[in-house]
Amino acid sequence: GNSVTQMEGPVTLSEEAFLTINCTYTATGYPSLFWYVQYPGEGLQLLLKATKADDKGSNKGFEATYRKETTSFHLEKGSVQVSDSAVYFCALSSGSNFGNEKLTFGTGTRLTIIP
């Protein structure tokens, strides 16, 4: 079956540091890949996504590239801010011809940025 493995946290960085959160996946076919973010006390929001190999998703300074050869979708940001403190989830979508997208999630990585 499908699975997502992401870097265990918590991760603590200083403001303006470089961020990488690793994510690898196992899936049949050609899944779409997502990063979701959950700020304290809130639900999940889509951060970025990529739907095919070599696609790069980007948003709010975050980037991730769909690497089929390494089955990875690592999240990166060049200079983090305190407001980036949140829990980050990597996920894949196993869509079918019926459009029944179901997300399989990683366990989440809690990120804390210190001023």
Partner 1 sequence: DVKVTQSSRYLVKRTGEKVFLECVQDMDHENMFWYRQDPGLGLRLIYFSYDVKMKEKGDIPEGYSVSREKKERFSLILESASTNQTSMYLCASSLGGTGSQVVAGNTIYFGEGSWLTVV
- What residues make contact with partner 1 under the rule CB under 8 A? 32, 34, 36, 42-46, 49-52, 89, 93, 95, 97-108
In whole angstroms, the minimum distance from the beta carbon of 60 to partner 1 comes to: 16
If the CB atoms of residues 79 and 90 are measured against partner 1, the closer one turns out to be 90
Tokens of 94: 């196993």
Distance of alpha carbon 93 from alpha carbon 3, whole angstroms: 10
CA torsion 4-103-35-38 (nearest 10°) is -110
If the CB atoms of residues 74 and 88 are measured against partner 1, the closer one turns out to be 88
